[in-house]
Structure 1
Amino acid sequence: QRENLFYIRCKVLENTCSFIIDSRSSCNCCSTRLVEKLALTTIPHHKPYKLQWINKDEGIIVNQQANVPISIGKHKDKVLCDIVPLEASHVLHRRPWQFDKKTIHDGLTNKISFQHLEKKLVLCPLSPSQVSED
Structure 2
Amino acid sequence: CFKCQGVGHLAVDFPNRNILSFIEEEGDPKYESYDESNEDEIIYEDQGQSLVVCHMLSIAATNEDHCLRNNIFQMKCMSKGKVCDVIVDGGSCEKLVSITMVEKLGLKPVDHPQPYNLLWFQKGNEVKVNKWCLVQFLIGRKYNDELWCDVVPMDACYILLGRPLQFDCQTKHDGFRITYTFKNDGVTITLGPTDVRKKAKETDSDLLTISEFDEAMGESCEAFLLVVMENIEETNVIPP
- Give your verdict on TM over 0.5: yes
Count of matched residue pairs = 132
In angstroms, what is the RMSD of aligned CA positions? 1.9
Which of the pair has the greater relative contact order for Cα pairs under 8 Å at 6+ separation? 1
Residue matched to 1:32: 99
Structure 2 residue matching 1:25: 3-state secondary structure: coil
Which residue type is aligned with residue 71 of structure 1? L
Query: Which of residues 149, 165, 188 is equivalent to 1:97?
Result: 165
- Superposed, which structure 2 residues align to 1:121-132 within 5 Å? 121-129=189-197, 130=199
> Which range is displaced more, 49-58 or 116-125?
49-58
Distance in 2, Cα, partners of 1:70 & 1:106: 23
Gaps of 5+ in 1: none
The alpha-carbon deviation at position 4 of structure 1 amounts to: 4.2
User: Counterpart amino acid of 2:169?
Assistant: K
Distance (Å, rounded) in 1 between the aligned partners of 2:80 and 2:170: 24
| Larger radius of gyration between Structure 1 and Structure 2 | 2
CA shift, 1:3, in A, is 7.2
Q: CA deviation at 1:77?
A: 0.9
User: Aligned runs of 1:32-111 on 2, under 5 Å?
Assistant: 32-73=99-140, 74-111=142-179
Provide the identity percentage: 34
**Using the alignment, how far apart are the partners of 2:148 and 2:170 within structure 1?**
17
Q: CA deviation at 1:36?
A: 0.6
- Report the equivalent of 2:181: 113
Deviation at 1:2, TM superposition (A): 7.7
TM-score by length of 2: 0.51
The runs of at least 4 consecutive aligned structure 1 residues that moved more than 3 Å come to 1-4
Distance 1:41 1:49 in 2: 20
